[in-house]
Amino acid sequence: MNNWRQQAACREDLGHDPELWFPDSRDATSIARAVNVCRTCPVIAECRSFAKDTGQKAGIWAGQLYGTDRTPDQLIDRATHCPNGHRYTPENTQWSKRNTRRCRACMNARSARIRAGEKAGA
C-alpha cells in the first residue's frame, strides 16, 4: 500500500465502509457523505494524482466522482434541495410511504395553483 493511503481520511480503520466511495450515481446522500470525508483529507492531492495516473473510471477519488459527467456538487444538490431549489429541512420535508422525500413548499404551491384553478373555473 502506498504511504499516502495510510494517511487518508477514508481509511477503513477509521470506520469508513469502502463501498461508500463507489455509490450509485443516483444516491446523492452517500455521495455527499463521501465527498465531505474527502474534503477533510490531508492527502487529497495524492489521491487525485493516483486516480488520474491509474485511469480510475468509477468511484469517488479526491472528492471527484468518476464515471459520470456530473460533478459531485451537482449530485449533492439533489440531497439538500428539491428540483425547484427549496432546501430540504425537517420543517420542509415530508416523507412518503415509499420513503421518498417531498418538498412541502412545492406541495403547498401546487395545492394553491389547484385551488386557484378551481375558483377560476367555478
- Coil vs helix vs strand at 46: helix
- Coil vs helix vs strand at 115: helix
47 labelled ligand-binding: yes
Statement: residue 102 has pLDDT above 80:
yes
Statement: residue 50 has pLDDT above 60:
yes
Task: Summarize pLDDT for 55-99 with one digit per residue, the tens.
Answer: 888 889 988 888 776 655 555 555 667 778 888 787 888 877 766
Contact 93, 102 (CB under 8 A): yes
Statement: residue 47 has pLDDT above 80:
yes
Task: Summarize pLDDT for 21-40 with one digit per residue, the tens.
Answer: 898 877 778 888 888 888 88
63/74 Cα distance (integer angstroms): 13
103 labelled ligand-binding: no
The C-alpha angle with vertex 73 and arms to 68 and 78, in degrees rounded to 5, equals 90
